């Protein structure tokens, strides 16, 4: 199961961490209210975050496939 560390860090089950700008994630949430939206990171082992109905729902991992996202509290 993938993890969201609010507001813009996603951790895949394989251990890959995708960090995005908070504004980018907010725009994806807005856009996804109408359609499914994908946001890919720029790492060599590219992971993609899928947004639906205003929230991130899964991480698409090239190694292990799709993982549902759970939300974790902020890490300091």
Domain spans of the chain? Answer: 2-72
Q: What is the pLDDT of residue 4?
A: 82
DSSP state of 19: E
Strand pairing report for 2-5 and 65-72? parallel
Distance CA 43, CA 32 (A): 23
Strand ranges of the sheet holding 17-19, from the earlier edge strand across to the other edge: 17-19, 9-11, 2-5, 65-72, 55-61, 48-52, 37-40
Q: What is the pLDDT of residue 42?
A: 82
Across 12-16, 40-44, 50-54, 61-65, least confident range: 40-44
Question: Tokens 């700008």 sit at which residue?
Answer: 21
Distance CA 76, CA 74 (A): 6
Split at pLDDT 50, 70, 90, the class of 72 is: low
Express each pLDDT in 54-67 by its tens digit.
999 999 999 999 99
Total-model pTM: 0.85
Report, as an integer, the average pLDDT of 13-27. 92
């Amino acid at each position: 199961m993938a993890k969201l560390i609010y507001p813009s860090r996603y951790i895949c089950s394989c251990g890959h961490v995708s960090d995005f700008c908070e504004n980018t994630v907010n725009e994806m949430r807005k856009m996804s209210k109408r359609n499914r939206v994908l946001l890919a990171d720029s790492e060599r082992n590219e992971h993609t975050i899928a947004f639906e109905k205003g929230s991130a729902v899964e991480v698409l991992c090239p190694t292990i496939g799709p993982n549902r996202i759970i939300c974790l509290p902020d890490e300091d």
